[in-house]
Amino acid sequence: MHITLNEWLDTWIEAYVKNSKSENTYRCYKDSIRRIRKAEAPFLNSDLRDINEIEIQAFINSLGKKYAKSTLNHIRVVIDQAFATGIVNGYCERNPIHKLTLPTDAGEKEVRALTQHEQEIVEAAAQTDPLGHIVLFFLYTGLRTHELCNLKWVDYNKKSKYIIIKKSKTKAGMRIVPLIDEAADILDSLTHYNDYIFNNTRKQPVSETVLKKVYLRLRRKTGIDFVTNHVYRHSFATRLVENGVDYKALSSLMGHTDVSFTLRRYATTEYDFLRQQINLLHKDHL
C-alpha cells in the first residue's frame, strides 16, 4: 500500500484526532498541517516509506527563524503521530523522526500580560460590551478558552463559590477553581438559558469564534492591540504573582500538570514586578 504524507495527514487527523482529542487539540493540529503545506515541505508529496529524517530535520531547521519553538514542536508532534499510525496501517515500516530536534535559533513564544493600568482600561471597556462579563470572568479566573466555553451550571457550586473544570489538562482530569466575590456575582446575575453558563446574544452556548469577536471589539475600544483570551489568562496569573502567590497554588489554579512549568513561565514576571517596585526609589518617584 502506498500513500503520500500529504494524503495521510488528512486521513490521520480525521480518524485519529477529531473524535478522540479535544476540540482545541484538533484545531491546533489542523493549524500545524496548514503550516506544513504553506511552507511547501519538499517531502509532502513523497510516499511515507521514502521520507528520511534528514529531510524533515532540514525542513524544521528552515522554519526556525519564522516560528516559535512551541509551534515547531506542534509540527513535530503531528508528523511523528502521522508516521506512528502509518506504521499501524501498513503504509510504512518505521518512524523516521524519533531523534528530531528543534533549531536553537527558534524563539520562545511570549504572551504579554496586561499591566494593572491596562487591565483597568480593558475592564472599563468590557462594561460597555454585551458580552463583557465574560471578559471579566476570564480575568478573575484564568480559565482557558475551551474551559470557559464548556462550563455548565452543574459545574458551579453557588454555596461554596467554586467551579469545577472537568475538561482540564491536570492528571486528575479536573480541577476546582475558587471564585472571588466578583466572579461569583457574574454567575449569579446570569439567566439559565440552557445547560451552559455562558451564552451569546442569541442565547446559544458561546463559541471560541464569538469570543474572538469580543476581544477584537475590545482592541478597537481600548487601543490595546494585543488583547486575546490568553492574555486575560496570563494577566490573571501575573496579578497573583505580583501579590506573592504560592507557585504550587498558582499551578493548581492554572491547571498546569507541572509546577516547574509554572515557575519557568512566571519567574520572569515576578522579577519584572520587583524591578518595577524597586524603581520607585528613583528620585522621580520620591
Q: Work out the pLDDT band at 112, boundaries 50, 70, 90.
A: confident
Q: What is the pLDDT of residue 269?
A: 63
Task: List, in order, residues 6 or more apart from 284 with CB less than 8 Å away.
Answer: none
113/91 Cα distance (integer angstroms): 46
Q: What is the pLDDT of residue 283?
A: 55
Structural domain total, the chain: 2
Tens-digit pLDDT profile for residues 246-282:
778 878 888 877 766 666 667 666 666 667 667 767 6
**Residue (of 113, 35, 21) closest to 71 by Cα position:** 35
114/111 Cα distance (integer angstroms): 10
Tens-digit pLDDT profile for residues 240-252:
888 888 778 878 8
Average of pLDDT values for 97-123? 81
My answer on whether 68 and 133 are in the same domain is no
My answer on whether 138 and 226 are in the same domain is yes
My answer on whether 79 and 124 are in the same domain is no
Note down the domain range covering 273. 116-281
Tell me whether residue 94 is in a domain.
no
Q: Work out the pLDDT band at 16, boundaries 50, 70, 90.
A: very high
Note the pTM of the prediction, 2 decimals.
0.67
My answer on whether 162 and 263 are in the same domain is yes
Tell me whether residue 177 is in a domain.
yes
Tens-digit pLDDT profile for residues 143-177:
999 999 999 999 999 999 999 998 655 554 688 89
Residue 259 has, within 13 A of its CA and on its CB side, a CA count of: 6
Tell me whether residue 95 is in a domain.
no
Task: List, in order, residues 6 or more apart from 150 with CB less than 8 Å away.
Answer: 166, 167, 196
Tell me whether residue 109 is in a domain.
no
My answer on whether 184 and 71 are in the same domain is no
Tell me whether residue 104 is in a domain.
no
Q: Is the pLDDT reported for residue 51 higher than 60?
A: yes
CATH number assigned to the domain comprising residue 67: 1.10.150.130
Q: What is the pLDDT of residue 254?
A: 81
My answer on whether 172 and 253 are in the same domain is yes
My answer on whether 23 and 80 are in the same domain is yes
My answer on whether 127 and 73 are in the same domain is no
My answer on whether 68 and 132 are in the same domain is no
My answer on whether 266 and 149 are in the same domain is yes
Task: Out of 58-62, 99-103, 135-139, 234-238, give the one with best mean pLDDT.
Answer: 135-139
Q: Which three cell numbers stand for residue 188?
A: 449569579
My answer on whether 135 and 67 are in the same domain is no
Considering the chain, what is the average pLDDT of its residues?
Answer: 87
Tell me whether residue 243 is in a domain.
yes
- CB-count exposure of residue 266 (10 Å: 0-12, 13-18, 19+): buried
- CB-count exposure of residue 45 (10 Å: 0-12, 13-18, 19+): exposed
* Cell 499510525, located at residue: 85
207/214 Cα distance (integer angstroms): 11
CATH number assigned to the domain comprising residue 249: 1.10.443.10
Tens-digit pLDDT profile for residues 183-219:
999 999 999 999 999 999 999 999 999 999 999 999 9
My answer on whether 197 and 259 are in the same domain is yes
Tell me whether residue 99 is in a domain.
no
Tell me whether residue 239 is in a domain.
yes
Q: What is the pLDDT of residue 267?
A: 61
Q: What is the pLDDT of residue 268?
A: 63
